[in-house]
Amino acid sequence: MNPQYIETESGEKLVVLSLQGYEALVEQASDQGTFDPTQVHPASKRNQPLRADVAARLADGASPVKVWREFRGLKAKDLAATVGISAAYLSQIETGERMGSMKVIVSLAQALDVSTDELT
């Protein structure tokens, strides 16, 4: 395991491991009963297979924010509250009347557990 050390512009220090190294570390800690990997890296919804109807809606040009929100089973008002915007603003994004700011798009992507590329 050869970790790489990175320091961000803000001074935060990060360690980068290969997936194999990370999995070995998780396994070793789990074997010792000292580590629950689900608490650090919970299973992402991103790994769920995309249903054909959802893919078709996206391919047909439907609003990605609305498609992903409905796929995740979220109500518009709940997503808006989670992101910190009004339901009216979310509605305007979903209908294409307004473009969300980059900050809002990033927050929506996080709340929907998708990449920002999937929303634009």
| Residues 6+ away with beta carbon under 8 Å from 99 | 93
Q: Which CATH class is domain 50-119?
A: mainly alpha
Higher pLDDT among residues 98 and 5, named by residue: 98
pLDDT for residue 40: 47
pLDDT for residue 48: 65
Between CA 96 and CA 15 the distance in angstroms is 40
What H or E segment, with its residue span, contains residue 112?
Answer: helix 102-112
Positions of CATH 1.10.260.40 in the chain: 50-119
pLDDT at 92 over 70: yes
State if pTM tops 0.85: no
Between CA 105 and CA 120 the distance in angstroms is 8
